[in-house]
Chains A and B, each alone.
Chain A
């Protein structure tokens, strides 16, 4: 039976990734979804931690880490589910550096958009926390989503620009 991911276990994951990453390089690893929520203290635990890095060698022992710490790990980033937002790369939020690995929360605006679009109970809870915490300004979110070119939706046949904007507007109206 796997343990739920608590903040302490998340920190253990961070240290294990840093300890086992290939030597001779520095890395960036991004938290997405439950990892950000648990690290920020918005909820006590998550079923898993979603991670992303452009350098796969940082995850070379991910199976071993999963087994040793008894947690679920998934590789994911918001752009798997929703179009990229302009300027996303400049909005990742630095957390801390452990060894050769620097950890970030993935762009909060991209995270919130993917959560609003999927729209499950916990997604919306997390999205509201992003707004309440000040990590996401809802007016800026609206502007960023509005600026997504229609051509970007070609890679997401399950979405439409109109539906995404409508979901964002409903979220903002509910969030007050």
Chain B
């Protein structure tokens, strides 16, 4: 998801993945993920509205799942960085 988000961000496409990268940008930078300086503003509400168009009633569940996935990715990056990559997959 993060890889696709980075690709979409570079290509100037607004997708759920690049909105996730944008809303999580400070944390991803903290964990050493290289991001462009300018990410998409107001990414949280834009992500929710985009998911709502596709998933309707399930948008909130999908939105929360995206946030959890981004946090989990950042946690994994942190472990990989601080543990010499022994836990990285």
Residues of A within 8 A of B (CB): 1-2, 4, 45, 47-48, 72, 74, 118-124, 158-160, 162-163, 167, 170
Contacts and interface: CB of A to CB of B under 8 A. Distances in A.
The B interface is mostly helix, strand or loop, or mixed, namely helix
Contacts of B70: 120
- Counting chain B residues whose Cβ lies within 8 A of the other chain, the interface size class is 20 to 34
Contact of A48 (B22, B26, B60, B72): B60
B82 A170 contact: no
Contact of A158 (B30, B64, B67, B72): B72
22 contacts: A2-B59, A2-B60, A45-B45, A47-B44, A47-B45, A47-B48, A47-B60, A48-B60, A74-B60, A74-B64, A118-B71, A119-B30, A120-B24, A120-B25, A120-B67, A120-B71, A121-B43, A124-B26, A158-B72, A158-B79, A163-B82, A170-B30
A66 B78 CA distance: 37
Interface in B36-70: 43-45, 48, 52, 59-60, 63-64, 67, 70
Contact of A160 (B25, B27, B43, B82): B82
